[in-house]
Amino acid sequence: MNSGLSCSQRRLFGLLSLAGLTSLVSGCAALGSLSSGPSRRGSDLPLARLEANGQAGLAEPALHAFSLVGTPYRWGGNTPKGGFDCSGLVVYVMRRSLGTTLPRTVEQMSNAGYEIAWEDRLPGDLVFFNTTGGDFSHVGIYIGQNRFVHAPRAGGTVRLETLVSSYWGPRITAFRRVASESHARTER
């Protein structure tokens, strides 16, 4: 993603875009166009309210992930310049935003942190999928409003998608919360 923008400019653009997306999605949800069943606490929690709830550290990975939307997919990739695969994206975002080092493969990553129930998920949590027959074959970063950011496949780019789609919804296998020790203490 060589757009001529500095890292701080891309980050600001990502933050502004996420704020706009949250406003748009919130407006659509208020109209009922994104109805997905009963209200779920985690999907209704705006990023701005995380700080008031003592969970500001969780928002940082969501914001960082969103700023990388459009970065090319590359198998084995783990940088914005070189591209990302799904686990490379997660490792990069968590290290940069929380200082947390995660294992490099999805299977190994599925044991990091602790499991979160659907109704307890928050922006910054990891979401795992079964896309190839194994319980943990794909991973993304939940950003709120039933949306997640991930690097889906060769030839594609880092994307924003909905958890409640007919493809992704049935393939969700787990949500996990991963945080550095200082963020974990803030949360508990």
> Terminal CA-to-CA distance of the chain, rounded, Å?
37
The distance between the two most distant Cα atoms of the chain, rounded to a whole number of Å, is: 44
26: exposed, middle or buried (C-beta count within 10 Å: 0-12, 13-18, 19+)? Answer: middle
Beta-carbon contacts of residue 132 (< 8 Å; ≥ 6 apart): 138
Q: Assess whether 150 carries a catalytic annotation.
A: yes
Give the three-class secondary structure for 79.
strand
Q: Assess whether 64 carries a catalytic annotation.
A: no
From 7, 64, 150, 183, the catalytic residue: 150
Q: Assess whether 7 carries a catalytic annotation.
A: no
Active-site residues, by number, are 86, 138, 150
